[in-house]
Amino acid sequence: MACKCVQPWPIGVRQQSLIGFLMAPNKRGAAPNDKENRPDLKPGDEPNDFASSVITKEEVEARGSGTQEARDSYDPSRPLLSELRVFFTGIMFLTRLPVPAWVDHHPAYLMRAVMWFPLIGATVGLWGAAWYNAAALLWPAPPALAGAISTLATVWLTGCFHEDGLADSIDGFGGGWGREQILRIMKDSRVGTYALVGTALILQAKTGVLGALGPARAGAAIVAAHAAARWTALPLTYGCHYIQDAEDAKRGLYNWFAQSQRLLTPPRLAFGTLSTIAVVAAALPSAQAWAVGATVVAMTIASAYYGYAVLGGVVGDYLGATIAATELAIYLVLTANWAAVAVRWQPLAVLAAAAVVPVVYTRRMIQTGGANC
């Protein structure tokens, strides 16, 4: 991919500059100023930043919205064909599955496609469940190995789409101390320490709880979790302010997407909700289905509150992080030993008290604009 975006390397420079390339400067450090061995590239957002200039801001902006049409061409007189394009737009956006050539990332179609996210998620879940069951049969021990293989299969199918948003969000909220800085860090494509450690721990926890579910329960749980977690994007997109950024290199697509929120209508929201309920009810026993529903609603409310409190709304990376976190929360709820709570509830009470600390910190950060926190 990078070879399409940079000028050809001078003869002999590739080998000489390997160390310099690996030690390229970033926000937290600097590399040797080896200008004679560096290709002649336009700078990115930061001066003399070779790491961020592989794909420059100008090159991203030149892509525009990435659409073939300048306006919304949804034809109500041909609802089946128009809705088929909406569905394929969702498939292309959330997965790496091939779609017809006449489908693109048109923001208006993408906004309508949000209602299909749960069913597309169920498809991803079926793919992950198939890999889990096969891996559990071939390698029954350790149990977490099947969870790791299933996770690898699903992130391949989605192109690590939600995990990318998760990493960017962890970096932003971990390293930023105010709204503007959080959003600026989230736009940075480079991975920081917060993102690396946080994403690794979350993926490790996910593989562990999938292993704990076991072959008898994991397949159905994976399908339900992938569908239900993606439902969170519906109410968050429908009811929350979608932040527009005039400085974002991808503003041609995402700002247009934000301006199309009215196209996610109540009937589409209802369809996405009912399809989610149908998938979860079909996959899980009644008690577990209710537990999943309560978990998803709680995660959605918490995400909406936190997004509004800190950012003043939501962005795409934040939606992806919510989906990834909700999927893990579902697995945790399904594997938790709830019977032990009635016997020994004190550790949960201590945890609840400790959870007040980040809430107070967040409110203080908002009130002071990030100063003195």
| Domain identity same for 284 and 184 | yes
Q: Is residue 280 within 8 Å of residue 292, measured between CB atoms?
A: yes
Cross-strand partners of 242: 314
- What confidence category does residue 33 fall into, taking pLDDT thresholds of 50, 70 and 90? very low
As a whole number of angstroms, the distance between CA 111 and CA 115 comes to 8
pLDDT beyond 60 at 73: yes
**Backbone phi and psi for residue 29, each to the nearest 5 degrees, phi listed first:** -170, -175
Of 38-42, 120-124, 195-199, 223-227, the least confident: 38-42
Q: Note whether residue 172 is domain-resident.
A: yes
pLDDT beyond 80 at 42: no
Q: Note whether residue 142 is domain-resident.
A: yes
- What confidence category does residue 176 fall into, taking pLDDT thresholds of 50, 70 and 90? confident
Please tell me the predicted confidence (pLDDT) of residue 244.
Answer: 79
| Domain identity same for 373 and 276 | no
| Domain identity same for 35 and 118 | no
Average pLDDT over residues 10-17: 38
pLDDT beyond 90 at 250: no
Q: Note whether residue 87 is domain-resident.
A: no
Q: Is residue 323 within 8 Å of residue 299, measured between CB atoms?
A: no
| Domain identity same for 318 and 370 | no
Average pLDDT over residues 187-213: 93
- What confidence category does residue 276 fall into, taking pLDDT thresholds of 50, 70 and 90? very high
pLDDT beyond 80 at 117: yes
As a whole number of angstroms, the distance between CA 31 and CA 293 comes to 50
Residue predicted with more confidence, 267 or 37:
267
| Domain identity same for 282 and 199 | yes
- Round the average pLDDT of the chain to a whole number and report it: 81
- What confidence category does residue 109 fall into, taking pLDDT thresholds of 50, 70 and 90? confident
- What confidence category does residue 75 fall into, taking pLDDT thresholds of 50, 70 and 90? confident
pLDDT beyond 70 at 26: no
Tokens 């336009």 appear where?
42
SS3 242: strand
Please tell me the predicted confidence (pLDDT) of residue 162.
Answer: 95
| Domain identity same for 166 and 258 | yes
Q: What would the two tokens of residue 17 be? A: 């500059």
| Domain identity same for 150 and 291 | yes
DSSP state of 76: T
Read off the pLDDT of residues 306-333 as tens digits, 9 standing for 90 and up: 999 889 999 999 999 999 999 999 999 9
As a whole number of angstroms, the distance between CA 330 and CA 21 comes to 41
| Domain identity same for 194 and 242 | yes
Of 107-111, 249-253, 311-315, the least confident: 249-253
| Domain identity same for 257 and 331 | yes
Q: Note whether residue 94 is domain-resident.
A: no
Number of domains present in the structure of the chain: 3
pLDDT beyond 60 at 59: no
- What confidence category does residue 303 fall into, taking pLDDT thresholds of 50, 70 and 90? very high
pLDDT beyond 70 at 177: yes
> Which residue range is the domain that position 21 belongs to?
2-62
pLDDT beyond 60 at 79: yes
| Domain identity same for 27 and 163 | no
Average pLDDT over residues 30-44: 45
- What confidence category does residue 31 fall into, taking pLDDT thresholds of 50, 70 and 90? very low
Read off the pLDDT of residues 131-147 as tens digits, 9 standing for 90 and up: 999 999 999 989 999 99
Q: Note whether residue 184 is domain-resident.
A: yes
| Domain identity same for 299 and 244 | yes
| Domain identity same for 328 and 276 | yes
Residue predicted with more confidence, 369 or 9:
369
Please tell me the predicted confidence (pLDDT) of residue 108.
Answer: 85
As a whole number of angstroms, the distance between CA 252 and CA 250 comes to 5
pLDDT beyond 60 at 40: no
As a whole number of angstroms, the distance between CA 302 and CA 280 comes to 21
pLDDT beyond 80 at 245: no
Residue 184, judged by CB atoms within 10 A of its CB (0-12, 13-18, 19+), counts as middle
Q: Note whether residue 85 is domain-resident.
A: no
Q: Note whether residue 272 is domain-resident.
A: yes
Average pLDDT over residues 145-173: 95
Q: Note whether residue 208 is domain-resident.
A: yes
Please tell me the predicted confidence (pLDDT) of residue 373.
Answer: 42
pLDDT beyond 70 at 100: yes
Q: Is residue 75 within 8 Å of residue 230, measured between CB atoms?
A: no
Of 12-16, 214-218, 239-243, the least confident: 12-16
